[in-house]
Structure 1
């Protein structure tokens, strides 16, 4: 069960399949805190902070391919809205590392990010696509919907990454026009920070370097997405997302001429 709530209202009741015992979060007053801070560019906004607690006491029961019983750590997910700090561009949430309760919950991972505040500025019926996300693991449990290996860091985590606006058009299975954030890696950057107590994310948006893409209109061999880069070049080489290194090179070349 996933609920949206302010951080002050963490105590709730959750029951997993077949369980009747109290699985409430009950963070002790002296719990260590995890602080998540995002510095948000003016064109963007924070997405909901998805928080996962896990428990070795209250198990999640599933079954393997042969029908055998499999016990995994129990899970308890909540959504938290990051709060603006005064009139600054910083948004923050503080999470108890120790979720407490009978299940002895512990903070396992968080998922958060930024998105365009007003996609319509890029045209009529433009919606937000993807990109600008971060996943941070605080234990050895793999988050859901994750892929690849996490970047492992010691101590607190500071993330400062470049992003570019990516306006894409798709035609197959219905027309879609979306504005996304093209960055290093896929939709989410994934980290493992076992000793962190501070996570700071600063996305650097290069608004003047828009990349566009036009999807194919028919399924056929040799028909690829066409990317139009801010230097006027076009590429259709089979990739499904912009070439981040090319965008970086274009920007740095333009900046060096100023």
Structure 2
């Protein structure tokens, strides 16, 4: 079971709408055609204590549309159907993990690839603290169409090869109001990098994710013991600097000086 929330949050942000569905059951069989193009993913696992999580893949269909009742005015809205699946990554050799997903699917719904989440998470936390438990993951959120990137927060990239090598650091998160044990998380400049890929549909796509993890610099973040005005998180950086100004995420610039 994956001890994370951020990756799945991104998946369900794609799907969240106000209202209730009134559509018929949609055939979610993919059955990629023989001539489909593929997106080939490669993740270089940076540590023996981390592991790539299964790809979180979303397909979209404009053929099998669904209807829902708006929660705002009661009107009926027709919109595309979505098909979210998980694709396991396989260890090829050493720290290299691979997987691939089809860009298209046959059948009446004519599914096409819309979005993919990939990344890494801690699977063991005790090397940095006896009672630590692994927590949220980090990685990349990729949009392959305008539907997935409609929130405007995706950075546009072109070409059929995408290489990313972000820097990550360990974060020990203490919040005794929520859980007894401290959580070991990963954090970077952006916990989930958002990219909108514009690619040549006649060729396969290659995504190479080679994160770097520096465990020599550990940040601690301690939640206030009670909710009250002026009670903020305390962020403790590796050099001993303590910041408590309302920030809820460490400043990556302090780590990369």
Do both share a fold (TM > 0.5)? yes
Structure 1: gaps spanning 5 or more residues: 1-15, 250-258
With over 3 angstroms needed to count, the CA separation of the structure-2 counterparts of 1:21 and 1:210, relative to structure 1, is: closer
Bigger relative contact order (CA 8 A; separation at least 6): 2
User: What is the alpha-carbon distance in structure 1 between the residues aligned to residue 198 and residue 69 of structure 2?
Assistant: 29
Structure 2 residue 143 is matched with structure 1 residue 149? no
User: What is the alpha-carbon distance in structure 2 between the residues aligned to residue 206 and residue 116 of structure 1?
Assistant: 13
Query: Quick one: which of 240, 248, 251 aligns to 2:248?
Result: 240
Query: Quick one: which of 131, 135, 143 aligns to 1:137?
Result: 143
Equivalence for 1:82: 89
**Cα deviation, residue 29, structure 1:** 1.2
String of CA shifts for 1:127-150, please: whole Å, max 9, x gaps: 22224121100001127xx97601
User: What is the alpha-carbon distance in structure 2 between the residues aligned to residue 81 and residue 141 of structure 1?
Assistant: 24
Equivalence for 1:167: 172
Equivalence for 1:204: 212
Equivalence for 1:68: 75
Aligned residues: 230
Structure 2 residue 80 is matched with structure 1 residue 45? no
String of CA shifts for 1:143-180, please: whole Å, max 9, x gaps: 7xx97601110112211100000011012244341011
Provide the TM-score with structure 1 as the length reference.
Answer: 0.82
With over 3 angstroms needed to count, the CA separation of the structure-2 counterparts of 1:202 and 1:17, relative to structure 1, is: farther
Equivalence for 2:37: 32
Given that 1:53 and 1:99 are in contact with CA atoms closer than 8 Å, whether structure 2 keeps it comes out as no
Matched residue SS, 1:245: helix
Given that 2:122 and 2:137 are in contact with CA atoms closer than 8 Å, whether structure 1 keeps it comes out as no
Structure 2: gaps spanning 5 or more residues: 1-20
Matched residue SS, 2:182: strand
Provide the TM-score with structure 2 as the length reference.
Answer: 0.83
User: What is the alpha-carbon distance in structure 1 between the residues aligned to residue 158 and residue 52 of structure 2?
Assistant: 26
With over 3 angstroms needed to count, the CA separation of the structure-2 counterparts of 1:37 and 1:222, relative to structure 1, is: same
Q: What is the alpha-carbon root mean square deviation over aligned residues?
A: 2.0
Given that 1:37 and 1:90 are in contact with CA atoms closer than 8 Å, whether structure 2 keeps it comes out as yes
User: What is the alpha-carbon distance in structure 2 between the residues aligned to residue 181 and residue 113 of structure 1?
Assistant: 11
Matched residue SS, 1:246: helix
Equivalence for 1:116: 122
Given that 1:167 and 1:213 are in contact with CA atoms closer than 8 Å, whether structure 2 keeps it comes out as yes
Given that 1:40 and 1:90 are in contact with CA atoms closer than 8 Å, whether structure 2 keeps it comes out as yes
Given that 1:132 and 1:203 are in contact with CA atoms closer than 8 Å, whether structure 2 keeps it comes out as no
